[in-house]
Amino acid sequence: DAMVIQNPRYQVTQFGKPVTLSCSQTLNHNVMYWYQQKSSQAPKLLFHYYDKDFNNEADTPDNFQSRRPNTSFCFLDIRSPGLGDAAMYLCATSRLRTGSSYEQYFGPGTRLTVT
């Protein structure tokens, strides 16, 4: 089945130690998104890629970076994780980023713990 896959599902890192979260998709969608969801809060968009075009949200901290080496894969890099970065990180895709049939498909998320 076509899907959005995130690895690992659980990640533990140390304060200040760089960490990379991975997302892959078999949907062949043009757009890939990264969201941060803290406990009991709404998912918050960090950035997205439209093909190779990177779009950062205005309030996303510089500590968060992303790479998209090809259509299928997208990575979230946290350069120096702080305790406040502990959260669920959700990857999503959509075929397009405009249009009336726009819809996002989500992966299962990676729960990041910072010790």
Partner 1 sequence: AQSVSQHNHHVILSEAASLELGCNYSYGGTVNLFWYVQYPGQHLQLLLKYFSGDPLVKGIKGFEAEFIKSKFSFNLRKPSVQWSDTAEYFCAVNPLSGGYNKLIFGAGTRLAVHP
Binding footprint of partner 1 on the chain (CB under 8 A)? 4, 31, 40-45, 48, 50, 55, 90, 92, 94, 96-109
Torsion of CA 113, 90, 46, 17, to 10 degrees: 30
Please identify, using beta-carbon distances, which residue of 26 and 55 lies nearer to partner 1: 55
Q: How far is the CB of 92 from partner 1 (least distance, A)?
A: 8
81 vs 109 by CB, closer to partner 1 = 109
Min separation Cβ 58 and partner 1, Å: 11
Distance between CA atoms of residues 41 and 33, nearest Å: 18
Torsion of CA 38, 43, 45, 51, to 10 degrees: 120
